[in-house]
Structure 1
Amino acid sequence: MAVLLLGPLLRYVDEISATVWVETDRPCEVHVRCENGAGGAERTWQVGGHHYALVPVAGLTPGSETPYRVLLDGGQVWPLPDSRFPDSTIHTPAAPGDDPADQHLRVAFGSCRWAAPPADSHDPVGPDALDTLAATLAADPARQRPDVLLLLGDQVYADQTSDATAQLLAARRDTSEPPWKQVADYEEYTHLYAESWLDPEVRWLLSTVPSCLIFDDHDVIDDWNTSAAWQTRMRATSWWRERLLGGLMSYWVYQHLGNLSPAELEKDELYARVRALPDGTDLVREFAAAADADPGCARWSYRRDFGRVRLVMIDTRATRVLDEGRRAMLDPAEAEWLREQILADHGAYDHLLIGSSLPWLLPNLIHDAEGWNAALCAGARGARWARRSESLRQRADLEHWAAFPESFAALTDLLVEAGSGDAAPATVCVLSGDVHHAYVAEPHWHDGSEPAGRVLQLTCSPVHNSIPATMRAGFRFGWSRLGRRLGHALARHARLDRPSIGWRRTGGPWFGNQLMTLTLNGRAARLRLDQAQDGKSGKDGKSGKDGKDGKDGKSGQSGKSGGVRLVCAWDEVLTGRQERDG
């Protein structure tokens, strides 16, 4: 009998359809059957000796919740026998024609999740926020779940493996040779995903809450595509090509396909060809190689509309232009696609969410330091400064939006355009991670003009990782008045133009393992930050601003290990200016 190795992951859900992703141990027929009669079936396809299916589920009812089962060749494999978790369900949104004021959406998001160790092992980075959320929901089935989970990068860490993974790699090859204890190829990537997604609580959560995913650097390697010099150095190594191909191939299989709707899947030529072959490995490998050579061969960015909420997820890694003199976060085709998706049917959405793994607005000093460094790398102060600045860029991870000044300005202008006019959305929120702390930042326009919608940077990281005390101090200093003055001095040294906006931190910084949740009701919005805490030791996170107690003390008790809970560190109403002024 076929065995379910990984999944099910509930990926796409709309009013009448869904997709469910699984990995099995052999070729088989995968059925998803719902209690209300909806369902779907799909034959597995093969990549790299592994077997997968992404099952389209049809016949769902708008505004309903129905439990589902997974069967392989007719035998039930999910729910697991004697499962201690509630039923996995598919919860569909209300039909689009319903009153917009009655439409509700809860969006939980975060990034940077290093795989949690087994429950009986010491966790060096503190309790996992995603695991704690799952345990909290499982212990209280009546508690309201997120409608969608956005994981904004670093779902796996190819360059920072656990002790268990390092042992597995050592059994396959000599880890004293490059790439050492980092993953080397597709097969090793499959182990990373299994390690991350087989955690019992997380496995259940991903089976019942739809997810939207995008990669960041650690899904491939730290500081992926920092600069042309970085890329040249990596391509000269003996191991980089196989690592990159394994990363892109596994991302396509494990993350990207589930981001697509059933209609988009039907139009995807590569997906159709892979499903039609006994083994699609060569096709996916050729695709990954082409995507690396020419970013125009692949589009990892995507758009999802949830009623009157629009989500646009941006690939901020693979489509960069790295040549000095024309550096850009997005190549021209990707930038135009982004503009089209944001502005299409302007007025058709009440909230615009931009998923960018890298924050648009950083601590002020860090933003100016990245702009200063970019200008010096481009030769603003001569060749010697350029050489030293390139070295600094790679060592200090200076490669966010601020390190691509023209792209930063273009995104700023686009957000203003999206948030302006009589049909402006109530909020325009950039959702980000990467920087291993959480904060809320709000821009202001130097010329006094402001868009009608409220524009915010919402950053939440990590879900499960850590940050050295020195970096915590550095981030706090970056937000300080003295830090801003130092940043202005760097900008003057590099002869940088003054940006059209300034910004201030209105929440945070918060450190610890955490998740943010946006609750959107009609044109109203509310933001909450929850941190995972070990109640016995107080380990990590320290819950409120700069490590003080949580704002309101609300918490949810986890059922996984005694004392681990979610503690609310921030809870704020976010509304468009139209509503506040009214």
Structure 2
Amino acid sequence: MTWSSLKDRFQQLPLVLAGPILRRTEPNQVTVWIALKEKRTVTLEILNSQGRKLFHGSYQTLQLGTNLHIVAVTAYSMVNLLNDHETYFYNLDFGYGQKLSHPGIITATGELSPITYPQYQLPSFCLPPANISQLRLLHGSCRKPHGESLDALATVDKMIAEALINNPEKRPHQLFLTGDQIYADDVADGLLFMLMDAVPTLLGWSEKLPDVDNNLELNPGRRNRLATQVAGLTASLTKTNQVGNVAKSHLMTFSDFCLMYLFAWSDLLWVKPEDFPDFCEVFSDEHRLQLSDRELLQKAACYRAELCDLKDFHLTLPQVRRALANIPTYMIFDDHEITDDWYLNMAWCDRVLSKPLGRRVLQNGLLAYAICQGWGNTPHEFRHPQPGGVLLQAAQGWFASGGTNSHLEQEISRRIGLPTVADIRNNHPRRLSHSHGSVTWHYTVITPSYEVLVLDTRTCRDFPGKEFDFPGLLSAEACQEQIPPLSPQNHHKLTFVISPGPVIGVPFVETLQVVAKNVAEKLGSAAWGFDPEAWKLEPNAFERLLSRLATRNLPNQQSRVILLSGDVHYGFAARLQYGANHSYEYPEKISTELIAVQFTSSSFKNEVSSAGGSRSLHQKGFIPTEAINHLPSAEVLGWANPSGKELLVGEIHTMMSGVLYSLPWRIKNNPAIIDLVAERSIFRGLQITRHPEWWYRADFILAKHEAIAPPHKQSLQNNLSNSVPLFAPLPQQERIFPLEQYLQLAKQRHKYLGEWGMGKEIVGVNNIGEITFEFVDGKEVAVQTLWWRLESWEKGKLLEPFPLTRYEVSLHFDDAEHPMGDVLQEVKS
């Protein structure tokens, strides 16, 4: 079989090129995103289980090019008509008497199996329940098409399908994609080739990029110089500050970014795997002749490896498409939607924002994000005259001009909030801020039993230190805006906070980032490759965040927060309990308590098997350099110290030459912080005489140990010959028996079994997180179950994804396993 260009296949494609994707869904409104090959006015109809239309809404598609039209259409009612525990359906009317089941809309025959489940004739959904113990919420991040292994996002399809068979009320209610839904900076050459092939057919216009004199440098595998030197991007800079080749196919034009979303969410524009372009089709004879024999062999080997991983990605795209059509889905960017290290620090901003090509890449990435992700998060903001509506209007004009209208380009830049270096430096302290009339990327989702605060930790940073110092992921201004006080009418028992990067990070990894930065500074270079941007690395932003979360619920003095994150390419759980009589930067002295549960799920498709990669953490846990069983912890005391000068807080007792000495204990900086766990390992004794203003303990959680019986040889043989699919346990169902059945099929079960088995501390293979709330042994717990795959006995094959790692985290303030008294034991009354 051979490669076939999209222009030769286009007439056979249906009207719908990607989607439908179910987006923001509330009792009185539902939004669906969809990409079409023709201009249409699309009407979204919401129906109940009897097929009666409840409400509807219409919107005209946005024309991006000759044969590409996108819309996020919202059906709206003046009153709340949708209830929990009910199944609802939606249909789309494209005019001319054509709905989803019309021939040529989804499929040539009108058959809807690509977007529906066998039980129903239309895509379906449920609202979150009023009782949080019945909630089933999903989250995950980091989906690179040529990442290793199989795509964990496809697991959502299995979850929905099995729930509809066994108990429809237990279907997942919401899906949060917490960042890196696409990878703009690390793109397989073969995939960029397919994207570029689709541009003339779908868009019909070609963007002239600034400072690009030779268009041959835009070909697949040849963009590294443009990305690194001309645009100033840092994706190719290695941990040793050398120039690698990661950005060889970096997305740059608007069409690159936009079409990547279509290829990430739908299999319709792809060719069959056997027809993927080969090496000689992607790289011209002329280019190959410029390479040495060694370079040619290396390039060909890299291409074959990327193509193999792309085929794995393509394999599960139908499952991903069907799942996204049937679950309310919310999204937020991290850096890879735009480029690696996006707004990492002040030095990065200087480097990229001062270059025309760098600015255009950021602008194109954010515009594509707005159309393909942001529009569905906050559809109200994309109606004229709201900033998003003005943005879409300007974008449509810019597209119509073939990307040549400079006035509309400036309007786009303004509306997406693209800053200049001067804008950042003129703020005191230096920070990224949104100008009046620009689109707001953070947002809130309200349900009867909880709220979700989705944070924008990329475009609202501050840079309080030197050029290469760690950023504050939210400036003081942004923290107030994105985490507002709870009003009495919006009082909720529980708050979810979506932070793309973990708020409570793995200590081993964050210590490496600090060391890397310090070493790089001494060598006069930068630690680009280490991603030095964890929350805790900039204490002001970190302590401010905890304070804000602890005080926003006042006068209620107790708050519970679930932090959902991704980014790091592994999954884990941690618990932080916080107490204060004067929280950091809070104007009044007031007692408050907080429990913050950190659940991290990453990656969907970007595990790394090489030395030092995510699989090392998967196998060895929180300290991957040593084969020891260890759960990190911290016990922290804090004081405000506006002067930053030495603050006397107590005494330390230490042995010197066999004599025990007591020395004054002074600490610096603002906030002034002590980690007692670290200090106890150094000194013989500690005594705190200045009472802390706030204090907390952080504990990393080991997955629940489940007593699994070893498989009998006969039952193993029976299961190996049994092709009947194995159903995973639904929430609150008995887990042991189905887990035993699954493990009988698993080659690696001996590594998984046991309290400290593989994946019990950290899951470092592709995974997705499932969040539920239960009562276990009489106490309320938040549960994160990570679904991942074990190897099959069949060589080179993986089993189906399964809920293998279950973290149970107490929501009780007086939990015996996490005693807050330990934090204050050295404090002198």
Both structures adopt the same fold (TM-score exceeding 0.5): yes
1:32-70 deviation digits (Å, cap 9, x = unpaired): 233321322211123466422221113543233222222
Cα distance in structure 1, aligned partners of 2:534 and 2:372: 26
1:351 matches 2:372: no
Match of 1:439 in 2: 572
Matches within 5 A, 1:459-498: 459-467=600-608, 468-472=610-614, 473=616, 476-477=622-623, 497-498=672-673
Match of 1:279 in 2: 396
1:105 matches 2:106: no
Q: Secondary structure at the match of 2:261?
A: helix
Match of 1:336 in 2: 480
Question: Of 34, 37, 40, which aligns to 2:57?
Answer: 40
Q: 1:349 to 1:469 in 2, by over 3 A?
A: farther
Q: 1:423 to 1:268 in 2, by over 3 A?
A: farther
Match of 2:434 in 1: 296
| 1:539 Cα deviation after fit | 9.9
What amino acid does structure 2 have at the position aligned with 1:470?
G
Question: Of 312, 316, 319, which aligns to 2:460?
Answer: 319
1:56 matches 2:74: yes
Conservation of the 8 A alpha-carbon contact between 2:144 and 2:605: yes
1:318-353 deviation digits (Å, cap 9, x = unpaired): 12123635953223431220232x534487101111
Cα distance in structure 1, aligned partners of 2:132 and 2:699: 33
Question: Of 389, 405, 411, which aligns to 2:539?
Answer: 405
What amino acid does structure 2 have at the position aligned with 1:66?
Y
Q: Secondary structure at the match of 1:239?
A: helix
| 1:512 Cα deviation after fit | 1.2
Cα distance in structure 1, aligned partners of 2:335 and 2:784: 27
Cα distance in structure 2, aligned partners of 1:102 and 1:461: 24
Conservation of the 8 A alpha-carbon contact between 1:46 and 1:279: yes
Q: 1:277 to 1:346 in 2, by over 3 A?
A: closer
Cα distance in structure 2, aligned partners of 1:68 and 1:302: 24
Q: Mean Cα displacement is larger for which, 36-45 or 311-320?
A: 36-45
1:207 matches 2:298: no
Question: Of 65, 70, 79, which aligns to 2:92?
Answer: 70
1:250 matches 2:378: no
Conservation of the 8 A alpha-carbon contact between 1:101 and 1:521: no
| 1:418 Cα deviation after fit | 4.3
Conservation of the 8 A alpha-carbon contact between 2:476 and 2:541: no
Matches within 5 A, 1:374-413: 387-388=521-522, 391-413=525-547
TM-score calculated relative to the size of structure 2: 0.58
> In percent, how many aligned pairs have the same letter?
21
Tell me: higher relative CO, structure 1 or 2? Use CA pairs within 8 A at least 6 residues apart. 1
Q: 1:420 to 1:452 in 2, by over 3 A?
A: farther
Q: 1:420 to 1:457 in 2, by over 3 A?
A: farther
1:68-124 deviation digits (Å, cap 9, x = unpaired): 222322312366433334131142356xxxxx5578432111111123x7xxxxxx6
Cα distance in structure 1, aligned partners of 2:483 and 2:153: 32
Q: 1:240 to 1:161 in 2, by over 3 A?
A: same
Cα distance in structure 2, aligned partners of 1:102 and 1:531: 21
TM-score calculated relative to the size of structure 1: 0.80
Match of 1:549 in 2: none
Match of 2:249 in 1: 181
What amino acid does structure 1 have at the position aligned with 2:800?
V
What amino acid does structure 2 have at the position aligned with 1:168?
M
Cα distance in structure 2, aligned partners of 1:539 and 1:16: 51
1:129 matches 2:148: no
Q: 1:208 to 1:432 in 2, by over 3 A?
A: same
Cα distance in structure 1, aligned partners of 2:195 and 2:352: 21
| 1:308 Cα deviation after fit | 2.4
Match of 1:219 in 2: 337
Match of 1:530 in 2: 786
| 1:445 Cα deviation after fit | 5.1
Conservation of the 8 A alpha-carbon contact between 2:486 and 2:553: no
Q: Secondary structure at the match of 1:470?
A: coil
Q: 1:275 to 1:241 in 2, by over 3 A?
A: closer
Conservation of the 8 A alpha-carbon contact between 2:476 and 2:544: no
Q: Secondary structure at the match of 2:99?
A: strand
Match of 1:488 in 2: none
Match of 1:362 in 2: 505
Conservation of the 8 A alpha-carbon contact between 2:581 and 2:592: no
Q: 1:280 to 1:106 in 2, by over 3 A?
A: farther
| 1:6 Cα deviation after fit | 1.5
Residue ranges of structure 2 left out of the alignment (5+ in a row): 1-10, 200-217, 228-247, 267-316, 399-407, 424-432, 583-590, 635-664, 675-694, 703-760, 818-829
Q: Mean Cα displacement is larger for which, 62-71 or 569-578?
A: 569-578
Cα distance in structure 2, aligned partners of 1:397 and 1:277: 34
1:158 matches 2:180: no
Cα distance in structure 1, aligned partners of 2:478 and 2:539: 17
What amino acid does structure 2 have at the position aligned with 1:517?
E
Conservation of the 8 A alpha-carbon contact between 1:419 and 1:452: no
Cα distance in structure 1, aligned partners of 2:177 and 2:56: 26
1:88 matches 2:123: yes
Question: Of 777, 801, 806, which aligns to 1:570?
Answer: 806
Say which one has the larger Rg.
2
Conservation of the 8 A alpha-carbon contact between 1:105 and 1:521: no
| 1:133 Cα deviation after fit | 2.4
Cα distance in structure 1, aligned partners of 2:577 and 2:815: 19
1:307 matches 2:448: yes
Match of 1:382 in 2: none
Conservation of the 8 A alpha-carbon contact between 1:169 and 1:181: no
Cα distance in structure 1, aligned partners of 2:385 and 2:133: 31
Conservation of the 8 A alpha-carbon contact between 1:103 and 1:521: yes
Conservation of the 8 A alpha-carbon contact between 2:549 and 2:594: no
Match of 1:13 in 2: 25
Residue ranges of structure 1 left out of the alignment (5+ in a row): 95-99, 118-123, 377-384, 486-491, 541-560
Q: 1:273 to 1:392 in 2, by over 3 A?
A: closer
Match of 1:97 in 2: none
What amino acid does structure 2 have at the position aligned with 1:476?
F
Cα distance in structure 2, aligned partners of 1:134 and 1:390: 49
What amino acid does structure 1 have at the position aligned with 2:389?
A
Cα distance in structure 2, aligned partners of 1:285 and 1:56: 23
What is the RMSD computed on CA atoms of the aligned residues?
A: 3.9
Q: Secondary structure at the match of 2:483?
A: helix
Cα distance in structure 2, aligned partners of 1:278 and 1:445: 46
Q: Secondary structure at the match of 1:564?
A: coil
What amino acid does structure 1 have at the position aligned with 2:111?
D
Q: 1:562 to 1:126 in 2, by over 3 A?
A: closer
Cα distance in structure 2, aligned partners of 1:437 and 1:46: 39
Match of 1:430 in 2: 563
| 1:313 Cα deviation after fit | 0.8
Cα distance in structure 1, aligned partners of 2:533 and 2:160: 37
| 1:164 Cα deviation after fit | 3.2
Q: Secondary structure at the match of 1:230?
A: helix
| 1:373 Cα deviation after fit | 7.0
| 1:234 Cα deviation after fit | 2.6
1:111-164 deviation digits (Å, cap 9, x = unpaired): 11123x7xxxxxx62221111221442355235322110110000000111343
Q: Secondary structure at the match of 1:77?
A: coil
| 1:250 Cα deviation after fit | 0.6
1:188-211 deviation digits (Å, cap 9, x = unpaired): 012210111112211111111011
Q: Secondary structure at the match of 1:201?
A: helix
Q: 1:416 to 1:562 in 2, by over 3 A?
A: closer
What amino acid does structure 2 have at the position aligned with 1:279?
Q
